[in-house]
Homo-oligomer: A and B are copies of this chain.
Amino acid sequence: MPPPTRPLVLRGARVVTMDAARRIIDGDVRIEDGRIAGIGGKGEGGRGKGKAKATTVVDCRGLVVLPGLIQAHVHLCQTLFRGLADDLPLEDWLAKRIWPLEAAHTEESVYWSAMLGGAELLLGGTTAILDMETVRHTGAAFEALETLGLRATAGKCLMDAPAAPAALREPTDRALSEAADLGARWHGRAGGRLRWCYAPRFVPSCTGPLLRAVSDLAARADAVIHTHAAETPVELEMVKRATGHDELSYLDSVGIAGPRAALAHCVWVDGEGIRRLAAQGTSVVHCPSSNLKLGSGIAPVPEMLAAGCRVAIGADGAPCNNRLDAFTEMRLAALIQKPRRGPDALPAAQVLELATLGGARALALEQEIGSVEPGKRADLVVLDLSGPHAQPDDADLVSRIVYSARAADVRHVLVDGRIVVRDGQLKTGDVAEIRREANRQARRLRRVLTG
């Protein structure tokens, strides 16, 4: 359970609610028991009301409150590999760098990789993630997430097919039994802030029996399934050869589809595939930086949204980005569609939906997070847009957030009503220690590549 938090008021902010009417409200955000108790009542919140419990007041005049940003596809275990795999295509990137490095992970390096990535995420206004770890030591990542106070749905990577790298491949039963153990231990921990997901890596590295079992187990555990799909033509071709089906049909046939499934990338999906994803209610997780950096392509996001698909956004892992920055992903998501579909494609307001409401749906937490509304969890970002780069100050606020704002504009961050970043400083971890330990582990891992 999270520690009981005192009632808290963010006083006098401009609140981008992302409620159904997309209201922007000037006023206070009142937080009780980790949830939003009310919005409005400018300047009055939490003062002289004779409440029994003392209320913490955070002065947010001149600042902007947003729903905490959500990234629905990250690999925290890869944060230590940032800068070790630049300018390579996906298949080489995986086989020559990422897989050998993942195989060399220890419990300690997984922990510090998650601490490093989690610190960057929180400092940049990301309050919730859908995370795919590596095959081993996933418990260590959960421990880091528990410490940092980030909301996370995370899973051990599952790989049991002959095509998976030998150093990471597991027998199907062992993979599934460890998954079940991790789920039993972590699903719902920290007052529900930590959740388990099933994370088969992608079709080419998983057998049909594994994927079908994942579908059943996820349904029974009410867990999300987190995987990759349709990232490159090479992948599509591999799946076609191995299964005789196109990848999305195959995933559907093994039960990985629908509101419980989050498919990262979906770059190479045609009109038929888009209609199928929309009808299923499957979440697509768009990763624009990663798709560009690995040369994968540009996902047809405007077409997906027009068809009614559920779309979220994510940075993917640090080595294919090399940031874990929701502001970078939002701006890029908007920009890359415009040469394809015209300058009015994917306007700012739609992009902010991907990083809030869309992310909440991909985590199957749309009742709990994704907007600033009474009753929802108090996962909030407080932005300072007073810098020269975000002026004039009366331009459209959502445009300022998507096109001009940056991670460094994040002043405060709350998760479950707990202040995890205050005045730009991480409160739940010592950044100097994280840097030192992460670098120590990274140097050890790097030796795997050089000798």
Q: List the interface of chain A (C-beta within 8 A of B).
A: 79-80, 82-84, 86-90, 93, 116-117, 119-120, 123-124, 289, 291-298, 321-325, 332, 334-336, 338-339, 341-345, 347-348, 386-389, 391-396, 399-400, 403-404, 406-408, 431, 434-435, 438-439, 442-443, 446
Count the copies: 2
Min Cβ gap A127→B in Å is 16
Let me know if B336 and A336 touch, CB within 8 A. yes
Of B83, B344, B348, B408, the residue contacting A392 (CB under 8 A) is B83
Return 26 A-B CB contacts under 8 Å, by A number: A80-B392, A83-B403, A86-B347, A86-B399, A87-B343, A88-B343, A89-B342, A120-B388, A289-B335, A292-B336, A292-B339, A295-B338, A295-B342, A297-B339, A322-B400, A322-B403, A323-B389, A323-B403, A332-B332, A336-B336, A388-B434, A391-B435, A392-B442, A392-B446, A393-B435, A408-B408
- Complex CA distance for A265 and B279, rounded to whole angstroms: 42
Known contacts A123-B389, A386-B435; 15 further A-B pairs (Cβ under 8 A): A80-B392, A83-B395, A86-B347, A87-B344, A89-B344, A123-B387, A123-B388, A289-B335, A291-B339, A293-B335, A295-B343, A323-B389, A325-B406, A388-B435, A394-B443
**Which B residues lie within 8 Å of A335 (CB)?**
289, 292-293, 332
Complex-state Cα separation, A408 to B11, whole angstroms = 27
CA A348 to CA B82, docked complex, whole Å: 14
Residues in B neighbouring A407, C-beta threshold 8 A:
389, 406, 408
- Complex A-B, nearest 6 residue pairs according to Cβ-Cβ distance, in ascending order: A83-B395, A408-B408, A392-B442, A295-B343, A292-B335, A322-B403
- A348 partner residues in chain B, CB cutoff 8 A: 86-87
- The complex places the Cα of A403 from the Cα of B318 at a distance, in Å, of 10
Contact of A399 with B83 in the complex, beta carbons under 8 Å = yes
Tell me how far the C-beta of A211 lies from the nearest C-beta in chain B, rounded to whole angstroms: 28
* A391 & B442 in contact (Cβ 8 Å cutoff): yes
Shortest CB-to-CB span from A235 to chain B, Å, is: 15
Whether B293 and A343, one on each chain, are in contact in the complex, defined by CB atoms closer than 8 angstroms, is yes
With both chains docked as a complex, state the minimum distance between the C-beta of A411 and any C-beta of chain B, in angstroms.
13
Bound Cα distance from A393 to B84, whole angstroms: 11
Question: What residues of chain B lie closer than 8 Å to A88, measured between beta carbons?
Answer: 343-344
Give the residue among A322, A332, A439 with the most B Cβ atoms within 10 A: A322
Closest to A349 in B: B87
A82: B residues at CB distance < 8 A: 391-392, 395, 404
Closest Cβ neighbor of A291 among chain B residues:
B339
Cβ of A119: which chain B residues have Cβ within 8 Å of it? 388
What is the bound-complex CA distance between A380 and B390, given in angstroms? 24
Shortest Cβ distance from A107 into chain B, in angstroms? 19
Is B293 in contact with A439, judged by CB distance below 8 angstroms? no
CB distance A443 to B388 under 8 Å? no
Indicate the member of A79, A389, A434 with the most B CB atoms within 10 Å: A389
| Inter-chain contacts of A120 with B (CB < 8 A) | 387-389
- Output the nearest chain B residue to A389 by Cβ-Cβ distance: B120
Q: Chain B contacts of A394 at CB under 8 A? A: 439, 442-443, 446
State in angstroms the CA–CA spacing of A88 and B298 once bound together: 21
A338 touching B294, Cβ below 8 Å? yes
The answer to whether A439 and B391 have CB atoms under 8 Å apart is yes
**CB-defined contacts of A388 to chain B, threshold 8 Å:** 116-117, 119-120, 123, 431, 434-435, 438
